[in-house]
Amino acid sequence: MQDEFSSPSRILNLQLNSKPAEAIRLLGALKKTSTLSLSSSCTLKVAYSSEAVIDRDSLKEVELEINKFWSSSDNVDVYLAIIILTLEGTYDRARSLLDRLSLVFGTTRLNFDAAIRIDNLPEGFFGKAKVFEERHNANDFRATVNELLDEHSTLVPAYIEMIRATIMSHDWEKANELTQNASLIQ
């Protein structure tokens, strides 16, 4: 069974809840036992930066670790680092990692698949559906949103996207039925 704080994104959540000392402690343990070196280092940098008294030496050391792992990390680690860098507001660095992932996979669809697989977040489903919508691929758009509804059945924005997908398919009865189902969610 995975530990409650086994991924950098979960530890970042802890850090964002004003507990940087605990996040730093957990990240130190995670870096020793995990292959998530880049994302752990990025999260550690955020934690060090948010302490009341910023330790400049530790910050420089973490920055060197980030540079060391930058080009050698696996795709899951890169994906988590993108999330952390984006939340931190370092968009240029996150974009360069995202470009690297896009080159590896050739499409952003697989990036959303990774998001769905790692954390089962609705945002991954929404992103994947948006790619299909922009490509005017109504069947895959509808299948992705249907998958989202299977995983997150009380999420009203998922119903809205499913209604849009059924309208794209000109399935008016199903759109009406979905509208009624969505109105029942409380």
Query: How far apart, in Å, do the first and last CA atoms of the chain sit?
Result: 33
pLDDT of residue 9: 58
Q: Is residue 100 part of a domain?
A: yes
Q: Is residue 119 part of a domain?
A: no
Same domain for 142 and 82: no
| Boundary (domain end) residue, out of 71, 105, 139 | 105
Same domain for 45 and 84: yes
Q: Other C-beta atoms within 10 Å of 101: how many? A: 17
pLDDT of residue 17: 61
pLDDT of residue 163: 92
Same domain for 134 and 100: no
Q: Is residue 90 part of a domain?
A: yes
Q: Sign of dihedral through CA atoms 64, 70, 76, 79? A: positive
Same domain for 91 and 13: yes
Same domain for 94 and 151: no
What's the pTM? 0.49
Q: Is residue 70 part of a domain?
A: yes
Q: Is residue 21 part of a domain?
A: yes
List the structure tokens of 157: 């924005």
Q: State the total domains in the chain.
A: 2
Q: Sign of dihedral through CA atoms 80, 119, 87, 49? A: negative
Q: Is residue 136 part of a domain?
A: yes
Q: Nearest-CA neighbor of 125 among 104, 101, 155?
A: 155
Same domain for 72 and 161: no
Q: Which residue has the higher pLDDT, 115 or 78?
A: 78
pLDDT in tens, 6-52: 566 566 665 656 667 777 777 777 776 677 888 888 888 888 887 77
Percentage of the residues of the chain whose pLDDT score is greater than 90: 4
pLDDT of residue 2: 43
| Mean confidence (pLDDT) of the chain | 78
Same domain for 139 and 77: no
Q: Is residue 111 part of a domain?
A: no
Contact between 157 and 142 (Cβ < 8 Å): no
In the predicted model, is pLDDT for residue 115 greater than 80? no
Q: Which residue has the higher pLDDT, 106 or 85?
A: 85
Q: Which residue has the higher pLDDT, 139 or 134?
A: 139
Q: Provide the residue range defining the domain that includes 178.
A: 125-183
